[in-house]
Chain A
Amino acid sequence: MDRKDKQKKGSGEEPCRKEQTVWEQKGISRRDFLKFCTAMSAALALPAAFAPKIARALDDVKRPALVWLEFQDCAGDTEALLRASSPSVSEIVLDVLSLDYHETLMAAAGRQAEENLWKTVREQRGKYIAVVEGSIPMKDGGVYCCVGGRSALDIAREVCGNAFATIAAGTCAAGGGIPEAKPNPTGAVGVKDAVPAATVINLPGCPLNPDNLTATVVHYLTFGKLPDTDSRGRPLFAYGKRIHDNCERRPHFDAGQYVEVWGNDAHRKGHCLYKMGCKGPETYHNCPIQRYNEKTNWPVGAGHGCIGCSEANFWDTMSPFYGRLPNVPGFGVELTADRIGAGLAIATAAAFAGHGVISALRKDKDSEGKKEE
Chain B
Amino acid sequence: MEKLVTRYVWEWPVRITHWVNALSILVLSLTGLYIGWGKTLAHDPSQYVMGWARLIHFVTGYVFAVSALSRIYWAFAGNEHANWRAFVPYLFKDGRRNMKDTFLFYTFFRRTAPHVTGHNAMAGSVYLFIFLLFLLMIGTGFALYSEHAPGSLLNRTFGLLLSIASNQTLRLIHHGGMWLIICFVINHVYSSWLMDVKEKNGVISSIFGGYKSVPEEE
Residues in A lying within 8 Å of B, measured CB to CB? 230-231, 240-242, 245, 251-258, 260, 266, 271-272, 274-275, 281-282, 284, 311, 313, 316-318, 324-326, 328, 337-338, 340-342, 344-345, 348-349, 352, 355-356, 358-359, 362, 364-366, 369-370, 373
Assess the B150–A284 pair: CB atoms within 8 A.
yes
Name B186's contact: one of A242, A245, A272, A345 (CB within 8 Å): A345
**Contacts of A364 on B, CB cut-off 8 Å?**
111-112, 198
Q: Are A337 and B172 in contact (CB under 8 A)?
A: yes
One of B40, B108, B186 near A260 (C-beta < 8 A)? B40
B binding-site residues for A, Cβ under 8 Å? 1, 33, 36-42, 44-51, 53, 106, 108, 111-112, 147-148, 150-151, 159, 166-169, 171-172, 175-176, 178-180, 182-183, 186-187, 190-191, 193-194, 197-198, 200
Tell me whether B40 and A337 are in contact (CB under 8 A): no
Distance (Å) between the CB of A33 and the closest chain B CB? Answer: 34
Q: Which of A254, A337, A341, A365 contacts B50 (CB 8 A)?
A: A254
Query: What are 9 residue pairs bridging A and B, where the CB atoms are less than 8 Å apart in the complex?
Result: A255-B51, A260-B40, A311-B167, A317-B166, A318-B168, A344-B180, A352-B186, A358-B108, A364-B111
Q: Which residues from B are CB-within-8-Å of A257?
A: 40, 42, 45
What residues of chain B lie closer than 8 Å to A365, measured between beta carbons?
111-112
CB distance A253 to B111 under 8 Å? no
B41 nearest CB neighbor, chain A only: A256
B168 touches A255 (CB 8 A): no
* Cβ of A360 to closest chain B Cβ, rounded Å: 8
Nearest CB in chain B: distance from A368 CB, A: 10
When distances are taken between beta carbons in the complex, the residues of chain A under 8 Å from B179 are 337-338, 340-342, 344-345
Question: A256–B187 contact, CB under 8 A?
Answer: no
- Is the Cβ of A341 less than 8 Å from the Cβ of B176? yes
Interchain CB contact under 8 A, A341 and B175:
yes
- A337 to B171 CA separation, bound complex (whole angstroms): 10
Inter-chain contact B40/A338, CB cutoff 8 Å: no
Task: List, in ascending order, chain A residues with CB within 8 A of B41's CB.
Answer: 256
Q: Which residues of B contact A242 (CB under 8 A)?
A: 147-148, 150
Task: Assess whether B175 is in contact with A326, with CB atoms less than 8 Å apart.
Answer: no
Q: Which 10 A-B pairs have the closest CB atoms?
A: A341-B179, A256-B49, A317-B166, A256-B42, A275-B38, A254-B51, A352-B190, A348-B183, A282-B167, A255-B42
How far is it, in angstroms, between the C-alpha of A281 and the C-alpha of B167 when the chains are bound?
A: 10
Residues of B within 8 A of A349 (CB): 186
Q: Report yes or no: B39 in contact with A240, Cβ–Cβ below 8 A.
A: no
In the complex, the chain B residue whose C-beta lies closest to that of A349 is B186
Contact B187 A348 (CB under 8 A): yes
**Given A345-B186, A348-B186, are A256 and B50 also a contact pair (CB < 8 Å)?**
yes
Give Cα A366–Cα B38 distance, bound, in whole angstroms. Answer: 51
Question: B187 CB to closest chain A CB, in angstroms?
Answer: 6
CA distance A328 to B168 in the complex (A): 11
B183 and A344 contact, CB distance less than 8 A: yes
Q: A residues within 8 A CB of B50?
A: 253-256
Q: Shortest Cβ distance from B203 into chain A, in angstroms?
A: 15
Given A341-B182, A366-B112, A256 and B148 contact (CB-CB distance below 8 Å): no
Query: Would you give the shortest CB distance from A129 to chain B, in whole angstroms?
Result: 27
Q: Do the beta carbons of B169 and A317 come within 8 Å of each other?
A: yes
Nearest CB on B from A354, distance (A): 11
Q: Which of A240, A241, A326, A359 has the most CB of B within 10 A?
A: A359
Nearest A residue to B50 via CB reads A256
Minimal Cβ-Cβ distance residue in B for A336: B175
Chain B residues, CB < 8 A from A341? 175-176, 178-180, 182
How far is it, in angstroms, between the C-alpha of A272 and the C-alpha of B47 when the chains are bound? Answer: 14
Q: Which of A230, A255, A274 contacts B44 (CB 8 A)?
A: A255
Further pairs besides A255-B45, A359-B197: 20, Cβ < 8 Å: A230-B151, A231-B159, A240-B150, A255-B42, A256-B40, A256-B50, A256-B51, A257-B40, A258-B39, A260-B39, A274-B38, A317-B169, A325-B168, A325-B175, A337-B179, A338-B33, A345-B182, A355-B106, A355-B190, A359-B194
How far is B151's CA from A362's CA once the two chains are assembled, in angstroms? 60
Q: Report Cα–Cα, A274/B128, bound state, in Å.
A: 36
Cα separation A91 to B193 with both chains bound (whole Å): 74
A217 to B185, CA, bound (A): 57
Please tell me if the beta carbons of B183 and A255 are within 8 angstroms of each other in the complex. no
Our pick among A251, A284, A345, A366 for the contact of B45 (Cβ within 8 Å) is: A251
Cα(A317)–Cα(B37), bound, Å: 20
